[in-house]
Structure 1
Amino acid sequence: MATPSLGEDTAKAVLRQVEFYFGDSNLPKDDFLKTKINESEDDMVCLALICSFSKMRGHLNLTEVKKADDVPDCTLKVVAQTLRTSSSLKVSEDGKKVGRSTKLLEPEELIEQLDSRTIAASPLELNVQREALEAFFGQYAKVNSVRLPRHVVQRKYFCGTALIEFSAVEDAQTVLEQSLVFAGAELELKPKKDFDVIREKEVEEFERNRSITTSNGSNAEEKHPKGLLVAFKLKSASAGDSAEQNGPDEKKTAEMKMTKKVDDKHGSPIDKVVEKENKSSISIYKDDMNVVLREDLKDVFKKFGTVKYVDFRIREDKGYIRFEQPEAAQKAHAASVSAKGGLVVKNFIANVEPVTGVAESEYWSLLRGNQGKHRVGNHFHWRGGKNNRGGKRGRDGENGSPRGRPNEAKRARAA
Structure 2
Amino acid sequence: MTNEDEQQDVSSSVSPLDAKIIKQIEYYFGDFNLPRDKFLREKVKLDEGWVPIETLLTFNRLKSLTEEESKVADAVRQSSLLEVSDDGKKVRRSPDKPLPESTTERQQKMDELTVYAKGFPVTATIDDLLEFFGQFGRCLNVFMRRLPSSRKFKGSVFATFEKEEDAKSFVSREGLKYNEVELTRCFKKDHQQEKKKAREARVAEKAQKQQKQEEEAAQEEETEIVLGCLLRLGDLGEGTSWESIKQALAPYAEVAFVDYARGRTEAVVRFAEEGSAQAVLGQLGALEEPLTIDGTRVTTSVLEGDEEAEYWKKLTAAKREKKGRNKGGQRGAQGQRGRGGRQGGRRGRGQDKNEAKRGAPDKPAGDTPAKKAKTEEAAD
Structure 1 and Structure 2 fold alike (TM over 0.5): no
Q: TM-score when scaled to structure 2?
A: 0.44
Q: TM-score when scaled to structure 1?
A: 0.41
Using CA pairs under 8 Å that are at least 6 residues apart, name the structure with larger relative contact order, 1 or 2.
Answer: 2
